[in-house]
Amino acid sequence: MATGPGLKISIDEKRYPGSAAPTFSGFKAEIAPGSVTAILGPSGIGKSTLLRIIAGIDRDYSGHVTIDGQPAAEAAPPGFVFQDPRLLPWLTTLDNIRTAGTGVSTEQAMVALGKTGLSGQASLYPHQLSGGMQRRAALARALTLNAGLLLLDEPFVSLDRTLVEEMYDLIASVAASSGPTMILVTHIVEDAARLADRVLVLSGTPTQIAANLAFPQPRNQRDRDTLDTYRRLIEDAT
């Protein structure tokens, strides 16, 4: 697969109906092709809204978001991990993964489940999965199409430490093997220090980019000192 797309984001105004102030006004950002960008910022600043605009799900704004030059709403659908896992309760885990797109085979879905450590849960229904398993299933569903653009909204919440380490390895190996463009919304400094090439810290009213940090060290070569430096840079900016 070719490297993931580059994004140009220019939101003139995004205002929710009934809201006194716009969430975004004159907001601009660029995302480099094939990069992993972490977006941090306080609750309610607009991180999930931004992901939905990028995904072409939220079109109720003025401005332009292009994905490799194409309007977001017309671009290929991204892999999207929503904040809540959004599994369909009447389908097994395997069949939930197959809803990622038309023509997803059982084999493809099983590969994605294997990557997230859920091969043994393929025939279980969502209510039979723990919260962490449901999140991993949502991640498997997002990965199964090998989309060029992956949007991850707090994908590691409620996973225990060991699993989070495995998910870091998984995301790093996806980044290294197929090179999608990934945007990771997170509250967790460690997620950004471990995974991101670029960190955007959002703040203010209306929302702006308060800090734009580059983390050039390759993910698999970040030693303790590098990670300490990256963590400190993020903490100073948030």
Residues near ligand ATP (CB under 6 A) are 16, 19, 23, 41, 43-49
Smallest distance from the beta carbon of 37 to ligand ATP, in angstroms?
A: 15
Nearer to ligand ATP, 14 or 136 (CB): 14
Smallest distance from the beta carbon of 209 to ligand ATP, in angstroms?
A: 13
Q: Using alpha carbons, list the distances in angstroms from residue 167 to 61, 135, 140, 157.
A: 33, 11, 11, 11
Smallest distance from the beta carbon of 152 to ligand ATP, in angstroms?
A: 13
**Among 83, 86, 57, CA closest to 154:** 83
Could you tell me how far CA 3 lies from the centroid of its own chain?
A: 16
Nearer to ligand ATP, 41 or 180 (CB): 41
Nearer to ligand ATP, 108 or 207 (CB): 207
Smallest distance from the beta carbon of 61 to ligand ATP, in angstroms?
A: 12
Question: Token digits for 62?
Answer: 């003025």
Nearer to ligand ATP, 14 or 219 (CB): 14
Q: Write out the DSSP string of 14-71.
A: E--TT-SS-SEEEEEEEE-TT-EEEEE--TTSSHHHHHHHHTTS---SEEEEEETTEE
Nearer to ligand ATP, 113 or 202 (CB): 202
- For 7, phi then psi, to 5°, come to -120, 140
Q: Using alpha carbons, list the distances in angstroms from residue 195 to 36, 144, 151, 223.
A: 7, 20, 14, 13
